[in-house]
Structure formats: structure tokens, C-alpha cells
Structure 1
Amino acid sequence: MGTCIICGASVDGRICSSHEEDVVFEFRGNDPDQLVPNRFYSGIVDGYADFGVFIDLSSNVTGLLHRSELDRRIESLDWEPGDEVFVQVKNVRDNGDVDLAWSIRQSEREFRGVLVQEGTTEREREPDDDDDDDDGPVVTHTPTPDSPGGGDENGEGDEGSVDETDADAGGESGGRGSADSGGSGAASAAAVEEEAADEESGDDVEEIRERNQSRPEGEAERVGIGTLSNRVGETVRIEGEVVGARQTGGPTVFELRDETGVVDCAAFVQAGVRAYPDIEVGDIVRLDGEVEVRRNEIQVETEALAALEGEEAEAVQRRLADALTDEARPDEVATLGEHPAVEAVGDDLLDAAEAIRRAVIESRPVVVRHAATADGYVAGAAIERAVLPLVREEHSKSDAEYHYFTRRPLDEPVYDMDAATNDATRMLQDRDRHGEQLPLVLLVGTGSTVESEDGLDLLGVYGARRVVVDAATADPEIADAVATLVNPGLADGDADADDLTTGALASVLAATVNDDVADDLAHLPAVSYWEGTPETYADLAREAGVDEDRVADLREAVALEAYYQSYEDKRELIADILFDSEGGDLAGHIAGQFREKLETELETAEANIEEREVEGRTFATLDADAYSHRFDFPSTTLLADELQRRGDRDATVVYGTDELYVRADDDVDVREAAGDAAMAVPDAGVTAVGVRQGRVEYLAGRRDEVTDAVVDAVAGQLN
């Protein structure tokens, strides 16, 4: 038994339940299950993602502070990797994931007490626990013989790890041991004494930096990064390209890639001080250092690092390029059903697959942009299913799949300046704040028409790589704005692409990127069709155990979820719908809601359709403002699709305040129709802004005249 440090009540431990939220805990455990929900803990900022901030609670336990838990926009946080922060543990999931909540108290003095939690045991913090300035979390760092932190006289440290958040290695904080690192107070004291000796002899930060940042010399044998797991404790030399550089509260961490793999290399001058400031992302370097294990991951503690130039740099670049091409280029396009239009773009699919695989190998983030439709989500989810395992294989960090792969749906199937500005802003922030490379932007089912050209060009200004994959309408001009354009309509040959969806095309691309997931993707092409599914894809789904009714459930469930929060990827939910065969009938449940909502809206719409005949063609027109719920499901585009599918008419036009949508059984050139309408109503500002959607915009005051003009223009085309 003990007594509560605040009220003195008898308790098991050092705090009573009434005051548990009045203290902050330093966690020194190694298992997430040891954390206590609702307690406040100190932690270290590990890094940012689109959806939140990763916080290290100990050297082995990391939690996620989701952006929804913040009291401000995530972009307004002034936290940097390595900063100490205070958070509340909200929940520990069965899989070990830790959900964190925001704390308005961001200083120890704002709490009524501080306790150390070692595993499940609580105790008061002792003087030996504290840093010189009485703050900072528990950290571990094993200094090399030449580093300012020292080590023993033989240069041997413990077999712990270099911690990115180390504030002790330079002796700045006095050094604390760690429960899992094997570090000791004596070792930390030795580090302090050595730095003190340095200070007495006149060494300052610049002299330390100069001493540590000398060029690697000698003829040490170069080793491959892929062999480092067998060289723990050895001093090695590696050569490669710097693909990432981030400054933590302790060392600078360089991410180095050679032809065999990628590894983090920690370089220390002084806590929070940039080591090797002349080394930038993209440099070809030679590095000597000691191989260590940090959080069960290989890391190199840098002893010397220098940029290579001339023939030395060229030799490394050739070695990297040759190995990268060999590894990134698939041998052949995956066989996922047979379709002539897919076969017509075989080489382009290989180019796109190589670009994706190359980005993963290069530690380059992959950003997938797709339309917020059932077809768009199927396409994006297929790519996601293929790429995430490759990211996990390339990067051992548990959160790598969130840093190196992002799927961002688009409200509109046009990659306009709004979307491009958003992406450019994020990628530049990630480059400047986290040392990330500029991403590969993969546009799936969008970005293939001239309406997207300005957005694509904006990315091009910064050198971001762009790949477009689209089974629908594409303009030849886009080929000059991107590295690779996969579009059967622009391919040589007579292959008919009218019955190919982007979801089917992207599924083939995904299986080509990673053939290990081909079986997982077999049913997706069929899911992407609302009607007229090619028999080859229907057969493929049946062979995968997904019959027609199940295909319909999956498609409708994805369509409903795609509508809500259309700008969010809903990664886990979409994966559960499309791929989880054992998680209950989630798809069936959501599909039931889809049908109920759609039927209700259709009943109202069909009762208010205006039928008209123009040049022998039958048209249905609907005032969506008056006879549909524009801000509830279904979307206007889906409503227009369904009205045309179910009606016995040549075309359907659904119009609103300043836009309309055209649907027809036969092909309609929306740009031509908009051009004819603009000539008929010259002061209405008529323009086709969404060719894929059959969408035309105009000035609200001339709505009726424009609608009539578009109907006349479409009738003329159908005849």
C-alpha cells in the first residue's frame, strides 16, 4: 500500500483514482497494454501524417493523436519532431494501437504532480531521474567513441539504440537510463563528464561539428544496406543517396538508400542542432558508422559523412539506377481477365507500374487522387491494396504506410487548381518540415482532360512526378504534361474501350505492381460496373467466390460511403467493405441503406420529370433544385445516371442553379454541346467543365435558356 501524492489517501500505488488526471506520468514500459486509459503522459513528437501526429510515449510505444482530437487545425501546431508534449491516453486497441487525446496542459508545472510508471508500477520521480533543466522525456542513445557523448574507453556502448529524440547524447541533459536500453546512470554520467572536459578545453559546438564531420577516409570495404542486420555492433561504410533528412530534438536523422535497401542514420552534434548542414536530400554520400538496433529496427550511428562528387558520385548513381530499374520494372502485365483495351496499353501499364514501384523503393511518397465515386474508390483501393505491402516491406517502421502512401479522393473528377494547390502545399511542407522527397502523384480516373492541365502544370513547376490512369475520356495534350498517361482511347489500334471502367484498368495496374495481391483484386473489376459488366470480369468475380448479388452489395456500399465525407479516404472502412469476408455483412448492411435512400429520391424525381421530344428524340429534364435533396444522398450525378438507366428515353438532363448534367445512351460530345449552347445564349457564360461527368456550367440568371439550348444541341448530335 502507498499514499496518494496529492491527498494522502491510502492507495495501491502513488495516486488515487480521484486525482489520477491531476498528474502526468513518464512511461517507461515496453508494452502498450501497460498504459492506463485517461491518464496524462509525457511524450516526444515522432512525426506528422495527414490525419494526426505520432507521439512516442517510450522507446517502444508510439500513439496517434488524431487530428479530430485537436483543439485547432493540425497545420497550426508548432510542434516539431523531437519536441516534448503532453497527451492523454484515450484507448489502447486490441492490436496494440494507442489512441491519444489532446491536453490543454503542455507544461509539467501545469500538473499537480509527476510520477514515473515503470511497466505497471508507479513511483515518484527521483533526483537521478531528472535532467539538468528538470524536463524532457526518457531517452536512449549509445554514443560512438568519437561522438561528444563518449561511451567507454573502448568505444563500446550498450546494444540499445540511437533514439531520434535523444537530448542526452551530447550531455546537455545529464542523461537518464532506460528500462529497455540497458543504459545506466554511470554511462550517462561518463557522457556528462566527457562533455564537461570538452568544454573546459575550449571545445564549442562548431569545433565538435568540425571534428565529427570529417570526410570518411581510408579504404574501408563498402557494404550493402541490405546486409546490416547481420552486422550489428560493427563499424561499416555505406554509399548511396540521401532520400530523407529530418532534425529531431536530439540527432539529425538521414535516410540513406543504396541498391540493396534503405536505412536511418543518426548524426549528432548537439541536441536539436543540424548535423552535416551541407548534406541535402538527393546528395550522393559516403558514410561510416556503427550498426545498432533501435526499436527492433536497424539504424546506423554516423561517425563520418561526406558528399561524393565527380566519378565517385557517378559510379554510385549508375549502380543505384541499374539496380532500381531491375527491381522496379515488372516482367509483364498481370492477367486479370482479358480485355482488348487493356492489352492495347500494355507498355503504358508497365511504365506506370514501374513508376509506382520505383517511388516505393526510392522512399518517395505516393499520392493517389481518384474521383469520389464507386468506380473511383474501387480504382484507388486496388492501388492501395497493392502498394501498402511493398511499403511495409521496404520500411520497417510501423507507421510507414501512412507516411509513404496517401489516397485523397476528389469531389470533382477534374484535377483543378484547387486540388493541385492543396497537394503542392502539403508536399512542400513535408519537404521542408520532414525532409521528405516530392511525391509521385498518381491520378486515377481524373486528370486526363485539358481541364486538369493547369493543375498538372503546377505540380510540374516543382518537379513532382505525375502519372495518369484513366479508361474514359482523355485529351492528347495531357500526354505532354505527365510522365505516363495510360488511356486506351489514345492508344494505337482499334481496341474498343467503351466498356472498360477505370476500376478495371486500375485493378490490372495494381496486380502488375504487386502480383502477390492479384487474388485479392479478382472481384474488383466487376464491382466497378453499374451495368454491362463484361463476361470476363463477371467470371473472374465468380471464380473468386463473389456472385452477382455480392458484387452489387459491394458496389452500392462503396457508392454510399464515397458520398459521405467524399474528401476522406476512409481507408479501413473501404478495405473492410471490399476485402473483409469474415467481418460480418458490412457491405450488405450499407447497401441496404443505399437502396432505400436511392429509391426514395427516385420516386420524388420521377414524379416531377418533364418529358419532351426534340427532333424525334425523347428527353427527360428535371429541376434538381426543386425536386431533389441536393445536400443528401444520392448525389446529382448518381441521380442523373439512375434516371437514364431506368427510363425509356434517349437522354436525360438534370439541371440546377448554375450547372446541368447530360446523360444519353449514345455518345455525346459535351464540349460541342456546350459550345453550341454558348452560341445560342452568348451572355450566359456557358462552358463544359466536367467532360467525364457530362457537366455544363452557366450563369444562374440564364438557366432556362441554357437548358433548352443544351437539349437542342444534344438532340442534334443524336441525330
Structure 2
Amino acid sequence: MGNCVICGTSVDGPICSSHEQDVLFEFEGNHPQQLSVGRYYKGTVDGFADFGVFIDVGKNVTGLLHKSELNQRLESIDWNSGDTVFIQVLGVRDNGNVDLGSSIRQSEREFRGKLIQNAENTYLPDESETERTEQSDSEQSSQQSRTEANETKEQEESEAPEPSPTTDGSGNAVGSATVSEHKEPLERVPIDSLSDRVGERVRIEGEIVGASQTSGPTVFELRDETAVVDCAAFKEAGVRAYPEVDTGDVVRLVGEVELRNNELQVETEQLDALSDEEEDAVVTRLAEALENEARPADVDLLAEDSVVSAIHDDITDAAGAIRRAVIESRPVIVRHNASAEGYVAGAALERAVLPLVREEHARSDAQYHYFDRRPLEDGLYDMQDATKDATNMLDNRERHDEKLPLFVLVDAGSTVESGDGLDLLDIYGAPHVVIDTQYPDDDVAETAEVVVNSHLGDSDEDVAAGVLGANVAAHINDDVREDVSHLPAVSYWEDTPSEYVELATEAGYDEDHVTALREAVALEAYYQSYEDKRELITDLLFEHAKRDLAEHVSEQFRTKLENELDTAEPNLSVRGANGVTFTVLDTDAYTHRFDFPSTAVLLDALHRHDITGRPGGQNVTLGLADDEIHIRSDVGVNVRDIEDEVRERAPNAGIVAVGTRDGKFEFLRGEREAALDAVIESVSEHLN
């Protein structure tokens, strides 16, 4: 016998079953079947394939980390052959193939300890060979003793006579327990009081909001009207306890409150699903508490802004939907445009939601399980994005009994290009909220729980995505109001409304620093276009102490953008039609592809800075790519309005409008010049 290196519990070996997933294992065995499913191991990148990464787990065993297990695209992962990585063994097949999963923890210090596992036993790194041999012998002896004890108990139970029922005064049977064995029922206690009841035996009631099977116990997440707590139930190692209980069930649980590594956990003695009146009483209690807690505080907008005031109720409703998801233990997935504005708005929501997740869940890593932020290319939620999200959410529901997430579409989700993706979520019953600044197509957001879009209010004026994101964030969690008050100003490239300039100044962000933040986030948005990392964006937007970071990154932004503008300027062509001036850049021929700036950022800068000395009147900038024409205009040309005209002028070009105001046209590569002529003629007529 030994003691668990984490909790000190007496156990065979150095780790108890409850904490196997909290430590890092270094494998020194020689066969895949010696690996333990569920454990986290140190590995070495061996090579890459189209379908995943091969990783050596020790010297003699190689496993596959399939691309479906990664939280980013395979081509964007920054591992190289020979790199040390940390992975989880998901399964070992009969043919010896090892299935691996990714780990959030990617350094040894993030684990709570380290153990060595060889072909025979598990031991601490500094144990001697003699100690390891003694431990192995002890484990075998203890296992044999447990086996013999279980066999004896089973035999005694099978030979024991049936207990006689006790009777009341009239001779009626009332049960098998004697009066001396009767225990007074425990009174129900709220989960938020468990920190004061460590070591006590308690009864709690609520809804199972998650269930996961570890290599040791089954861990149920139980939520009542006050909080959520992990409850460990053990049948035998790796075997599901209480298989009749599932996510969504309303239950009564009795167990002992323990503190494991400063995290509360209830060791389950009894778990019963409730029904009928008992279930109804708990459901009613939870619903009332949820409604009260999810309702945002009656707070003001960040600033007096008539455009935003027109949709204040929508902002409140969106905040309530997000708060409700957190309280329900429903993951919140923020999908935002991979632009500076999208990142600013997404980061504002992240700032507001993460503290609520940490308050709601006792697990220290809950913020990684119940909140995620992922960028979207071009501000479109297409079928590729939706399919990936649906696959992940269904996998998490199947493997971890996780609720379907609430998806929050930020600076995206209002045009028909997102319609099919949103319909896919709706088919599965996954709720979503849209917070967008793009001009909307009719009926696209019908399936959304809430839509926040200034174009749906009394005013049809444009507003920056950061304005909406920061206001929703302040309504989700009023404690972060001061943290996010400077973000609206960061979202504007020019003509920032004075009320938001004033907010930023009051928060300690002068004009130069706001500009540096905007430029730095724009650069990192490009390089993180397939990533969902939090730390760098958080440091840029919220850490005053890291002011030099923004200055450094923004300098790179300006250098790269100015170099590209210098390259583009001599290669611009200017055409006039019907009194409209068109500045055309062949982005395939005269830009450095696959590096910053993106086409969108470059065209925005070209149109914004008026570098060609264009005359007065209507001005339009066109980015001509291999099979696309991007539009930037002074008035926001809606490509939907002129799609039919462009098709008529270039009938063989396969014209397709994408987006709405200042969107783009896709065409067949062989009809490039015809498509360009058709767009110029149609836009010029539309503007006159």
C-alpha cells in the first residue's frame, strides 16, 4: 500500500483512481497494450500525415492524434518533428493501433505531478529499483486479497437467507430494515454551502448537467439552483457507475463532501433519479432560480448612442441568453469574424463570460470546457464551419454527456452565406445568438434566439462590432464594464464617435494607444485566423502593463501595410463610368500573397487613405482576384441589389454575389475581364 501523490489517500501504488488524469505519465513500456486508457502521457512528434499527427509515446510505441481531435486546423499547428507534446490515450485497438487525444495542458508544470509507467508498474521518478519491485509485489498481493475478499462476500451473500420483513402492529409488512437500522433522512443542502461542509455526509438535489467516465470513477456534474459540483461515483476502474442516470436527469444524491487539491467533490454513496412530484418540485425550483439569475441587471449602455439605443432591448435579451447558458452548464462557443473588429467584440464577450463560468463551476479548468472563442474567415458561418462545430458538439455529447452549446455569432451570421450553417445547428436544436453589424438578408436569422443588429433597429446607420460586443458584455457581467469601455474606440478605423473616444480616454487609453491596439489586433487576427488562443489578445486589449507589446506589434502592422501599399500604388488602374471613379487593383498580380495584409485589410486601407488622389464625387475601389471582385465604396454598394444586372452583362461568367453592402462577386476565371466590365457598369448605374 502507498499514498496518492495528490490527495494522500491510501492506495495501491502512487496514484488513486480519482486523480489519474491529473498527473503526467512517462511511458517506459514496450507494447501498446501496456498503456492505460484515459491517462495523459508525454510524447514526441514523429511525423505528419493528411489525417493527423503521429506521436511516439515512449521509445517503442507510436500513436495517431487524428485531426478531428485537434482544436485547430492541422496545417496551422506549430509542432515540428521531435517536439515534446502532451496527449491523452483514448484507446488501444486489438491490432495495436493507439488512438490519441489532444491535451489543453502542454507543459509539465500544468500537471499536478509526474509518474513513470513501465511494463509492470507505476512509480515516482526518483524511486529506486528496490522500491519499485516492492511496490509491484505489494500491488499484486493487494489485488489478490481484494479478489479473494470479493469472492468470499459473493459466496456469503448467495448462501444468506432472505431477510424477513418487519411488520407493523397489524402484521403488515413495512420493509426489510429493523428499527435499529433506520437512519433519519438527511436534509437537503444547497451546493453553494458545500465549502462549509467538507467531511460531512450530505444530500443534494438537482440536474445532471454532465457525466464523464475516467479511468477510475464516473464523474457527474450536478447543478442545483445555487451552483455546480463534481460528484465521483465508483463501481470499478473505468466502468460506468449508475448507467441508468444520464445528462438532463433530475436526481437526489447522498455522499461525503471532500476537498481534492482545493476543489470540492462529493464522493457518491447513493444516486437516484427522481420522478413525478419530486422531479417537478426540483425542476420548478431550478427554473425559477435560473430565470432570476439569468436576467441581466438593469444597466445603462456604455455611452449615449442613438443607433445602439434603438436595439437596447435586443442587447439585454442577448446578454440574458448567454447568462442562461452559463448557469445551465451549457458551453458557450463564440464564433467571430477573423478581423480586428471581430476579435475586439469576441474578446469583450470572453472577458464577461469567463468569470461567470469560474463562479458557476468548482473545477479549475471549467473555463476551458464551458467557453471557447473561434474566428471565422470573411465573417461567414458556412457549412464547413457548421459541420465542424456540429461534429464536435455531437462527439462531446456522446462521449461526455455534454449539453449542446450556445453558439454566439459575432460580426457574422446575418447574410445568406451563413444560412445553411445556422440551419444545421437548428436541426440539432443547438441554440444560437447573432450579434452582427453586417447589413442583413431577409429571414436569415429566423432560427436565432436573439439577433442584435443595428440595421434592424429604428436607425439604419452603421456601427462598429466592438460597440455591440462591449455593450452586450457589460450587460452579461456589469463587473467588467470598466474593463471593456475602451473597446468601442478600438473598433473604428476612422471617424470614431466622440462618446467612445471619451470613454477610452477616461479608461486611460489615449488616441495613440487606441490606434496601436487596433493595428496590433488586426495583425494578430490575420496570423491567428485558424486559432482560438486567448492569451495574446487578452494581453493586448486588457493589460496596461503590456503596453509595449501593442506598440511592438502595431509597428509590424504599419511596416507590412506600408510596404504593400507602396507595391500596390504604381499598379493601380483608374477607370471612370457614369461619373463614378473606379480604382482597380489586380490583387493576384500585384500583392504578396499568403502574408499580411489580407486582401480585405489592403482594400480597406486603399479606399480609406485615398492614395490615388481621386477626384470628388462617387469613388469605388475594386480588388480583382483570380475569381473574385471585392468592392469598397463611399456609400456601401449592396451587391444583392445589382446581382441580376451584372449577370445580364456577363451571362457566361457564372456571377454570384457574396455578402451585402460592400461585398464581393465571384465569377468563372475564364470570364475575368467580362466580369470586371459588368461590375463597373452595374455599380456606376446604381450610384447614379
1:230 lines up with 2:196 in the alignment: yes
Aligned to 1:366: 332
Contact 1:413 / 1:692 at 8 angstroms: preserved in 2?
A: no
Aligned to 2:543: 580
Instruction: Please give the alpha-carbon distance, in whole angstroms, between the structure 1 residues aligned to 2:528 and 2:321.
Output: 30
Aligned to 1:625: 588
- Within the candidate set 306, 324, 329, 2:295 is matched to 329
Q: 1:443 to 1:385 in 2, by over 3 A?
A: same
Q: In structure 2, what residue type is equivalent to 1:458?
A: L
- How many Å apart are 1:219 and its aligned residue? 4.8
Instruction: Please give the alpha-carbon distance, in whole angstroms, between the structure 2 residues aligned to 1:542 and 1:403.
Output: 35
Aligned pairs for 1:572-651 (under 5 A) are 572-583=535-546, 585-647=548-610, 648-649=613-614, 650-651=619-620
1:201 lines up with 2:170 in the alignment: no
Instruction: Please give the alpha-carbon distance, in whole angstroms, between the structure 2 residues aligned to 1:400 and 1:387.
Output: 12
- How many Å apart are 1:230 and its aligned residue? 1.9
- How many Å apart are 1:55 and its aligned residue? 5.0
1:684 lines up with 2:653 in the alignment: yes
Please say which of residues 455-464 and 193-202 is displaced more in the overlay.
193-202
Identity of aligned residues (%): 50
Aligned pairs for 1:264-303 (under 5 A) are 264-303=230-269
Q: 1:78 to 1:591 in 2, by over 3 A?
A: closer
Q: 1:695 to 1:218 in 2, by over 3 A?
A: farther
Aligned to 2:370: 404
- Within the candidate set 515, 523, 529, 2:486 is matched to 523
1:449 lines up with 2:415 in the alignment: yes
Q: Which stretches in structure 2 are left out of the alignment for 5+ residues?
A: 8-13, 27-38, 47-52, 56-63, 70-86, 93-97, 160-181
Aligned pairs for 1:354-433 (under 5 A) are 354-433=320-399
Aligned pairs for 1:104-183 (under 5 A) are 108-109=118-119, 115-117=123-125, 124-127=130-133, 129-130=135-136, 174=142
1:535 lines up with 2:504 in the alignment: no
Instruction: Please give the alpha-carbon distance, in whole angstroms, between the structure 2 residues aligned to 1:286 and 1:673.
Output: 62
1:551 lines up with 2:557 in the alignment: no
- How many Å apart are 1:519 and its aligned residue? 1.0
Q: 1:54 to 1:338 in 2, by over 3 A?
A: farther
Matched residue SS, 1:582 = helix
Q: 1:87 to 1:242 in 2, by over 3 A?
A: closer
Aligned to 1:703: 672
Aligned to 1:566: 529
Q: In structure 2, what residue type is equivalent to 1:646?
A: H
Could you say what the CA RMSD is over the residues aligned between the two structures, in angstroms?
3.6
Aligned to 2:634: 665
Q: 1:124 to 1:346 in 2, by over 3 A?
A: farther
Instruction: Please give the alpha-carbon distance, in whole angstroms, between the structure 1 residues aligned to 2:292 and 2:480.
Output: 21
- Within the candidate set 217, 220, 230, 1:254 is matched to 220
Aligned to 1:73: 65
Q: In structure 1, what residue type is equivalent to 2:124?
A: V
Spell out, residue by residue over 1:629-657, the C-alpha distance to the aligned partner (whole angstroms, 9 max, x if none). 12111111111111111224410111111
Aligned to 2:275: 309
Q: 1:87 to 1:598 in 2, by over 3 A?
A: closer
Instruction: Please give the alpha-carbon distance, in whole angstroms, between the structure 2 residues aligned to 1:572 and 1:87.
Output: 19
Contact 1:674 / 1:687 at 8 angstroms: preserved in 2?
A: yes
Spell out, residue by residue over 1:396-442, the C-alpha distance to the aligned partner (whole angstroms, 9 max, x if none). 32211111110000112111100000100111111112221111100
Spell out, residue by residue over 1:362-387, the C-alpha distance to the aligned partner (whole angstroms, 9 max, x if none). 11111000011000000111111111
Spell out, residue by residue over 1:589-642, the C-alpha distance to the aligned partner (whole angstroms, 9 max, x if none). 111111111111111111111101100111111111111112111111111111
Matched residue SS, 1:437 = coil
Aligned to 2:461: 497
Contact 1:63 / 1:97 at 8 angstroms: preserved in 2?
A: no
Contact 1:285 / 1:307 at 8 angstroms: preserved in 2?
A: yes
Contact 1:557 / 1:590 at 8 angstroms: preserved in 2?
A: yes
1:486 lines up with 2:449 in the alignment: no
Q: In structure 2, what residue type is equivalent to 1:201?
A: E
Aligned to 2:110: 97
Q: 1:251 to 1:349 in 2, by over 3 A?
A: same
Count residues in correspondence: 603
Instruction: Please give the alpha-carbon distance, in whole angstroms, between the structure 2 residues aligned to 1:275 and 1:332.
Output: 44
Matched residue SS, 1:453 = helix
Contact 2:409 / 2:435 at 8 angstroms: preserved in 1?
A: yes
- How many Å apart are 1:28 and its aligned residue? 6.3
Contact 1:64 / 1:100 at 8 angstroms: preserved in 2?
A: no
Q: 1:128 to 1:437 in 2, by over 3 A?
A: farther
- How many Å apart are 1:355 and its aligned residue? 1.3
Q: Which stretches in structure 1 are left out of the alignment for 5+ residues?
A: 1-25, 32-40, 48-52, 135-172, 176-187, 205-215
